[in-house]
């Protein structure tokens, strides 16, 4: 199938040809015709599969079909994204696909950027607005953005926006849009909170699941390397990054400070490395990404939020220096490599105490991550294989318990073997050496006769001595109370 068969406007086809794409991807072939037909869509597809074109080409086609460009101040297409980097990527793709649409205007409204440039862009007509929810709310409250003429709303990476706490902002924004709009929702998963969001905001949506997180990344080789400690982990990372097959690599850390510290250590070791995280202003982040895209930067150390939307085809390796907090982030991380059909390498570094996190990721993706070792950097402690689900693991050095508690104690040497023929119960009390019977309490009677159960035992206190009960003196002797 070619793009000509999808029914797109000629001006879009000419722009697509300039980008070098000849055939639509699976998600594009499935989503574009349904979006052109006017249906609301819920789409789940693997990262790097061409989702941006899947929602932007139908939206631009609708603009191209209008007799003239919208001369008002209203926005026609709104794309909500979770991060600044993804918003910038979507805006760049929009400009590329709409290069032959005369007068098309695109604006980006995201946090971390000066208000001046955004105010200038919003003071003119805007056809396509790409925004993060928080900053768009600010402009909506200041009445700088008009969504009354919106015909297409796109929620890109909706699951991530929900994870970041944007649900209330999204609801506020959607309330400002016309009820007749077309809504296109793209997410890594379509279940849980995403499904509830879709039920409130979409009208009879058609569901498209091209791939899921449980399907294998056939073009990405995944490896798991266990480390004894952080020092060992650093040596493993150094070995991986010095491989001649590494073109460019992205290394993921759990914290912003960890990204800065690791980037400094890699620079000290001779690597061209830089950090990327949420505490950096937009100018710093744009400069860092520019260095990466131009090839001046070989190693990018990033956090999960900052790495969303990074699309650099020359990234050959993705390394999880720290394990992700959420299992689904693993899929997005390794998806930074192997872009545009290329082959990629993904390495995950973990200490043995993190085996449960590794198993959680494996359960999420539906496949094991092959564990391997580097010669000369083998861990001192070997990783134990995961126990089968629902079965307990027994220590092979310890004998298995036999049937019955007494037999188990006998087998382990805690109790002597008992004659199986002797089934008589053991006596309740051992006999006295002189043969005199004992009372139920174990005390002999003075007359030698068996004591009745429950009978009081004689006192051994001196005559006239009172008993102390609960801290208070008793006025009666033991014999008097017994009577």
SS3 206: strand
Distances (CA, A) of 429 to 134, 266, 437, 438: 81, 77, 10, 8
**Beta strands 220-227 and 344-351, pairing class:** parallel
Picking from 430, 425, 54, 59, the residue whose alpha carbon sits closest to that of residue 208 is 54
Question: Could you list the pLDDT tens digit for every one of the 483 residues in the chain?
Answer: 788 888 899 999 999 988 878 888 888 999 999 999 999 999 987 666 788 999 999 999 999 988 665 555 689 999 999 888 889 889 999 999 999 898 899 999 998 778 888 898 898 889 999 999 999 999 999 999 999 999 999 999 888 888 778 889 999 999 999 999 999 999 877 877 888 888 889 999 999 987 655 555 778 899 999 999 999 999 999 999 999 889 999 999 999 999 999 999 999 999 999 999 888 887 888 889 889 988 899 999 999 876 666 778 889 999 999 999 888 788 888 988 887 668 899 999 999 999 999 999 998 888 899 999 999 999 987 655 544 434 334 343 444 444 444 344 334 444 444 333 344 444 444 444 445 444 444 444 444 555 445 545 544 444 444 444 444 444 444 444 444
pLDDT tens-digit series, residues 230-271? 999 999 999 999 998 899 999 999 999 999 999 999 999 999
The stretches of 279-380 forming alpha helices (DSSP H) are 282-294, 304-307, 327-334, 355-365
Q: Are 40 and 200 in contact (CB under 8 A)?
A: no
26, 30, 35, 36 alpha-carbon torsion, rounded to 10° = 100
The DSSP line for 221-252 is EEEEEEESSHHHHHHHHHHHHT-TT-SEEEEE
Q: Residue 3 is encoded by which pair of tokens?
A: 């793009």
Instruction: Provide the angle, in degrees to the nearest 10, between the axes of the packed helices 84-97 and 10-19.
Output: 120
Specify the pLDDT at position 114: 80
Please say whether the dihedral angle defined by the alpha carbons of residues 33, 38, 39 and 42, taken in this order, is positive or negative: positive
Q: What is the pLDDT of residues 298-315, one digit of tens each?
A: 999 999 876 666 778 889
Q: What is the pLDDT of residue 393?
A: 40
Beta carbons of 280 and 288 less than 8 angstroms apart? yes
Question: Are the C-beta atoms of 473 and 479 separated by less than 8 Å?
Answer: no
Quickly count: other Cβ atoms within 10 Å of residue 305's Cβ.
18
CA end-to-end distance (rounded Å), the chain: 108
Quote the pLDDT of residue 73: 60
Cα separation, 237 vs 254, in Å, equals 16
DSSP for 47-81, written as a single string = TTS-HHHHHHHHHHHHHHTSSS---SS--SEEEE-
Please name each of the domains of the chain with its CATH number.
Answer: 3-209 (3.40.50.300), 220-365 (3.40.50.300)
CA 90 to chain centre: 23
479 vs 368: CA distance, rounded Å? 79
Return the ∠ at Cα 154 (arms to 213 and 77), rounded to 5°.
155
Per-residue CA distances from 248 to 47, 253, 298, 309 (Å): 19, 17, 5, 17
Q: What six digits make up the tokens of 43?
A: 């789409």
> What are the backbone dihedrals phi and psi of residue 312, each rounded to the nearest 5 degrees, phi first?
-120, 110
Task: Name beta bridge partners: 220.
Answer: 344
Neighbour order of strands in the sheet with 220-227: 220-227, 344-351, 315-320, 248-252, 299-302, 273-276
- The pLDDT score that the predictor gives to residue 429 is 45
pTM: 0.60
């Amino acid at each position: 199938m070619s793009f000509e068969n999808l029914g797109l406007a000629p001006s879009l086809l000419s722009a697509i040809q300039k980008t070098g794409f000849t055939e639509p991807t699976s998600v594009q072939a499935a989503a574009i015709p349904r979006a052109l037909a006017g249906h609301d869509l819920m789409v789940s597809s693997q990262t790097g599969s061409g989702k941006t074109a899947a929602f932007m080409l139908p939206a631009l086609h609708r603009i191209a079909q209008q007799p003239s460009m919208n001369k008002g101040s209203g926005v026609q297409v709104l794309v909500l994204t979770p991060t600044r980097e993804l918003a910038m990527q979507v805006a760049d793709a929009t400009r590329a696909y709409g290069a032959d649409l005369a007068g098309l205007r695109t604006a980006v409204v995201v946090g971390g950027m000066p208000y001046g440039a955004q105010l200038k862009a919003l003071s003119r007509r805007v056809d396509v607005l790409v925004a993060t929810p928080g900053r768009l709310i600010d402009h909506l409250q200041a009445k700088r953005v008009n969504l009354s003429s919106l015909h297409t709303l796109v929620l890109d990476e909706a699951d991530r926006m929900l994870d970041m706490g944007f649900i209330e902002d999204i609801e506020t924004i959607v309330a400002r849009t016309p009820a007749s709009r077309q809504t296109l929702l793209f997410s890594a998963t379509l279940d849980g909170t995403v499904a509830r969001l879709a039920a409130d905001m979409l009208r009879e949506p058609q569901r498209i699941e091209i791939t899921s997180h449980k399907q294998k990344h056939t073009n990405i080789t995944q490896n798991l390397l266990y480390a004894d400690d952080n020092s060992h982990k650093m040596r493993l990372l150094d070995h991986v990054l010095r491989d001649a097959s590494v073109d460019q690599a992205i290394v993921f850390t759990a914290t912003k400070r960890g990204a800065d510290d690791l980037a400094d250590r890699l620079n000290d070791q001779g690597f061209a490395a830089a950090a990327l995280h949420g505490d950096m202003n937009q100018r710093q982040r744009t400069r860092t990404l520019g260095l990466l895209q131009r090839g001046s930067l070989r190693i990018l150390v990033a956090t999960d939020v900052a790495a969303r939307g990074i699309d650099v085809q020359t990234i050959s390796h993705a390394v999880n220096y720290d394990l992700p907090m959420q299992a689904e982030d693993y899929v997005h991380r390794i998806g930074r490599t192997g872009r545009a059909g290329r082959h990629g390498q993904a390495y995950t570094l973990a200490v043995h105490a993190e085996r449960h996190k590794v198993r959680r990721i494996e359960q999420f993706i539906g496949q094991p991550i092959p564990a391997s070792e580097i010669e000369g950097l083998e861990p001192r402690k070997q990783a134990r294989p995961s126990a089968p689900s629902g079965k307990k693991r027994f220590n092979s050095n310890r004998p298995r318990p036999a049937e019955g508690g007494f037999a188990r104690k006998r087998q382990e040497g805690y109790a002597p073997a008992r004659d199986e023929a002797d089934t008589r119960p053991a006596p309740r009390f051992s006999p006295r050496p002189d043969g005199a019977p004992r009372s139920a309490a174990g005390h002999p009677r003075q007359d030698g006769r068996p004591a009745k159960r429950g009978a009081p035992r004689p006192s051994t206190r001196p005559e006239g001595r009172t008993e102390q009960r609960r801290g208070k003196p008793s006025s009666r002797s033991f014999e008097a109370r017994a009577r």
